Each structure stands twice: as C-alpha cells, then as structure tokens.
Homo-oligomer: A and B are copies of this chain.
Amino acid sequence: MSEPTHPDQQPRTPTPRPGGRSARVRTNVVAATLAEVTEKGYDGLTAEAVAARSGVHKATLYRRWGGIDGLVADALTASADQPWPLPDTGDLQEDLRRITQEVFDVFTDPERSPTPIALISAAQRSDVGAAALRDFFAARHHQAAEVAERAVARGELPVGTDGAEVVSAATAPLYYRLFVTGEPLDARTAERAADAATLAARAGLFMTTSTTPTDPEPGTTPATPTP
C-alpha cells in the first residue's frame, strides 16, 4: 500500500491491508461515497459530506484517497472486488441470458439502479475514475468468463475462446443503451444480446488466435490495441 503523504499528490486507489482499522475505515468511506454519489451525483459530491457520513476526518480522506475522484475510483474498485454468483445451467446460451437478464434487472430496478448509474457516471468524469472503470469492467468480464470456459470444457465452444470477450459482447448492447444512446432497456434486448454472443462464440469469433472462420485477412487486424 502506498499512501500519499502530500495533499498535492495524484489521487490514487489505496489498497489497505485486509482486516483491522484500515479496512474498517475503507469500508465506511466506500459506503459513504456510494450513498453520497447516489443522492447528489458527481457534481454534488464533496469530501466534507463523505467525511461527515463516514466519521472519517477529511484530512484522512485527502491523504489516503487524494480527493473526490480517488473516492469514486475506490468505490468502484471495492464494487469489483465483491464476489457475485454466476449461473451454471450447463448451457452457454442460458448462462449468458441469465447474466444479461441480471444486468437488465439491476438497471431497470428503481431500488437497485441509482447507485451503479451514479457511480459509473461519476467515474467517467475524471482520469482516475476512468481507469477504475476500465479495471471494474475488466474484472467483471473476467469473473463471468467462467461461463464460457465451462462451455469450452464441455466442447460447446472452440478451444482458445476468449471468455471475457464473450461476456463483453453479451453485455455491450445493454450498457450501450444505458450509457451512450439512452434508449430504454427491454427484456428482449437483453435476451437477444445473449443469443447473439452465443452464436458468435460458437462460430469461433472470440478465439484469441487471429484467424477465424470469417476472417479472410488476419494480417489486417493488429493484435495490439490502437492507442
């Protein structure tokens, strides 16, 4: 764990030791950040309010989290660390349908949707938040990749399938609607996204090797991301 010692240092996501006072402080601060950002949004989020709500001194917040953006980033990191149950129905299409249905359920539930919507929107507002957002989705994709890995083990998908990419493809149409186009989500979209990802995965589109059955020009697709 590297804690900033000067208030003018870059915000960063602290990684306190598990257990003990440091972990309790983090738990309280994350809970307070989530509550505040849900109620007031990024523009209304203040270190003062998080300090008051968590019972942690404002100076401690600045020292350990660097400021508002570090608080938002760490709340995302803490969310990514939460384990969540994966479906295991023995069928990739059904597993993916349950995953997209869960995204649909969360984001159309007036009780459960405000916090993730506020947290993702807040994270988009700073570089440190954006980095945490990227790590958050990478962690979620990798956790859920297990449904594709089991499908590979069953012989349902080709060996070499990138499970995280399968999950990303299944959920992308939902987040695209939620956070880009603003179209309302419907259950049909969630199911169709899962079914489309299943078809693509079965056809070998998500194999990590560069040559796929529908890719006649592998040389034109660089393996390294374009900046």
Which residues of A line the B interface, CB within 8 A?
Answer: 93, 104, 108, 120-121, 124, 130-131, 133-134, 137-138, 168-169, 172-173, 175-176, 179-188, 191-193, 195-200, 203, 205-206, 210, 212, 214-215, 220-227
A216 vs chain B, min Cβ distance (A)? 10
Asked if A196 and B195 make an inter-chain contact with CB atoms under 8 angstroms apart, the answer reads no
Q: Which listed residue, B179, B187, B225, touches A179 by the CB 8 Å rule? A: B179
CA distance A140 to B131 in the complex (A): 29
> Can you report 23 residue pairs joining A to B where beta carbons are below 8 Å apart?
A133-B181, A138-B181, A168-B181, A169-B196, A172-B173, A175-B176, A183-B225, A184-B225, A186-B222, A186-B226, A187-B220, A187-B222, A187-B226, A192-B200, A192-B206, A195-B215, A196-B196, A196-B197, A196-B199, A196-B200, A196-B205, A198-B214, A200-B200
Residues of chain B within 8 A of A203, CB atoms compared: 195, 199
CA distance A176 to B167 in the complex (A): 13
A28 vs chain B, min Cβ distance (A)? 28
A84 vs chain B, min Cβ distance (A)? 18
Asked if B187 and A221 make an inter-chain contact with CB atoms under 8 angstroms apart, the answer reads yes
CA distance A205 to B193 in the complex (A): 9
Residues of chain B within 8 A of A200, CB atoms compared: 192, 195-196, 199-200
Asked if B185 and A225 make an inter-chain contact with CB atoms under 8 angstroms apart, the answer reads yes
Most buried by B among A137, A138, A198, A214: A214
Residues of chain B within 8 A of A214, CB atoms compared: 93, 195, 198-199
Asked if A188 and B169 make an inter-chain contact with CB atoms under 8 angstroms apart, the answer reads no
Residues of chain B within 8 A of A93, CB atoms compared: 214
Residues of chain B within 8 A of A175, CB atoms compared: 176, 180-181
Residues of chain B within 8 A of A180, CB atoms compared: 120, 133, 137, 175-176, 179-180
CA distance A197 to B203 in the complex (A): 12
Beyond A173-B169, A199-B196, A206-B192, whether A183 also contacts B222 by CB under 8 A is: no
For A202, give the chain B residue with the smallest CB separation. B199
